[in-house]
Amino acid sequence: MNNYPVIVLDFETTGLSPQYGDRAIEIGAVRIENNLVVDRFQSLINPGFRISSFIESYTGINNRMVAAAPPGAEVMARFAEFIGDHPLVAHNASFDRKFLDWELDLIGQARVGKFACSMLAARRVYPHAPNHQLGTLVSYCGIETDGTFHRALADAEMTGLLWIAMVEELKDSFGIKEVSFALMQKLSKISKAKTLAYLKNIAREQSSVDGN
């Protein structure tokens, strides 16, 4: 069992870069403890301007929906309370991290929790997957889904279930009894050639500690 809580989050946005004026239009997140989803957060966000027809088509979020949504400052204040100082996970975390940091900065707050990237970790846990896009990995791992993608809570839920599947895979395949957040972070950065030796060493160290 893993006792540390993890917040798995996903942003839907008006574009790719907050530095060039793009804003969040939806955030979804799940809290995972002991490899179970125990809490959820979801809100649309009014970015203060019209969103493009491409984003409307891509996400299913339209201008009528965001016009009725609360502003970013209100949503992010609530979300900051939800995430606290917990470790954070996202699929392609560099994207979500920059929007989270930007939106928090706008309300005078800063992220405390460290990030891990489920996409980069999955490249090491599932090296034989056809690719490491979220939808592909969900199918590859046999995770049940209602087929909804590019909505924040649905993607956060699927990423959370993928995270749980990866933890279980490391336990089952390598005999690692305790899959720490630091281990998952390391997998996001380690080279493919060094992954197997690293995981075997972790299992050996844990067995040695248990033996004492």
Mark residue 160 as left, alpha or beta (left: phi above 0; alpha: psi -120 to 50; beta: remaining). Answer: alpha
Residue located via tokens 């928090």: 104
Closest to 29 measured CA to CA, from 212, 160, 147: 160
Compute the distance between CA of residue 100 and CA of residue 69 in angstroms, rounded to an integer: 18
Work out the angle at residue 79's Cα, subtended by the Cα atoms of residues 73 and 81, and round it to the nearest 5 degrees: 110
- The answer to whether 29 and 41 are in contact (CB under 8 A) is yes
Catalytic residues: 150
- The answer to whether 89 and 159 are in contact (CB under 8 A) is yes
Give the up-direction half-sphere exposure of residue 58: CA atoms within 13 A in the CB hemisphere.
11
